Structure 1
């Protein structure tokens, strides 16, 4: 039997160390997923609210500024042009996104779920925010979706980019039949 070279032994220990690190990381991720799945919405939001950069409002809505814009903030009377992606907080599953519907969406500030109405009014045009909406500001104990994509009492996570604001558009359009100048489909 020949002795092992010094460099080979070092490589062996580095390999063993890397395998151990990968194993520990995988165990941590699966444990974290199990903990999140077992949490109530209030427990999830309490933990999330401790993260750096996350702001919790009195209503329970949480947000993080991903990019701050410098344009106007929308009011309840306005229409907005937005890119959005909605996910379930517990699983990360995307249940809706503007990209699935062909690109930016034209949406009123009001008439949507309360968390959306409250959140979009915090943003300046050009901003991108991430929102965590407790069930009472989303779909509550009813859930939503034609196939139940949003289960009852789900915390929703929305990444929302405010591209444009049309001031007063809701007041000027009885049936929302108009559009935002320069933006097709609005």
Structure 2
């Protein structure tokens, strides 16, 4: 999977979706992620409305490992079924991201993630 480069996220058109959108950009052929997996990912996150990047493992120069069970609901629903070697785009509405209550800088925001699945445990 090292052949993939930092993704570019095209500016979305139209209103933000109210349901989780899952789009495979590259379908992997390795081990499949399940809800109980710990995943090794490279990812890029942008705000749907502004296109502004808010987080990226690419910017830090290294992938990151996460237990899926500890992530936002949009990742919990959007990553299982993905296979190592794949790249997937998730458009996550606020209720499946950081909620709609004030307190988190990303609250009330629809988020776009491009995720490269490098490994699963």
Smaller-chain TM-score bracket:
0.7 to 0.9
Over 3 Å counting, the alpha-carbon distance change for 1:157 and 1:61 in structure 2 is same
Match of 1:141 among 100, 103, 120: 100
Match of 2:16 among 35, 44, 54: 44
Structure with higher RCO (Cα < 8 A, 6+ apart): 2
Aligned 8 A contact 1:140 1:153 in 2: yes
- 1:142 Cα deviation (Å)? 3.0
Q: Distance in 1 between matches of 2:22 and 2:40?
A: 19
Q: Distance in 1 between matches of 2:41 and 2:49?
A: 24
- The answer to whether the aligner puts 1:158 opposite 2:113 as a matched pair is yes
Choose 1 or 2 for highest CA Rg.
Answer: 1
- 1:141 Cα deviation (Å)? 1.1
Considering fraction of residues, name the structure with more strand.
2
Aligned 8 A contact 1:74 1:109 in 2: no
Q: TM-score, normalised by structure 1?
A: 0.54
**How many residues were matched structurally?**
111
Q: Distance in 1 between matches of 2:69 and 2:115?
A: 15
Over 3 Å counting, the alpha-carbon distance change for 1:143 and 1:154 in structure 2 is farther
Where does residue 77 of structure 2 map in the other structure?
A: 118
- 1:144 Cα deviation (Å)? 6.3
CA distances 1:156-185 after superposition (whole Å, capped 9, x unpaired): 00000001111xxxxxxxxxxxxxxxxxxx
- The answer to whether the aligner puts 1:71 opposite 2:43 as a matched pair is no
Aligned 8 A contact 2:34 2:81 in 1: no
Aligned 8 A contact 1:66 1:128 in 2: yes
- Give unmatched runs, 5+ long, in structure 1: 1-31, 37-42, 47-59, 167-186
Q: Distance in 2 between matches of 1:91 and 1:45?
A: 15
Helix, strand or coil at the partner of 1:163: strand
Q: What is the RMSD of the two structures over their aligned residues, measured on CA atoms?
A: 2.3
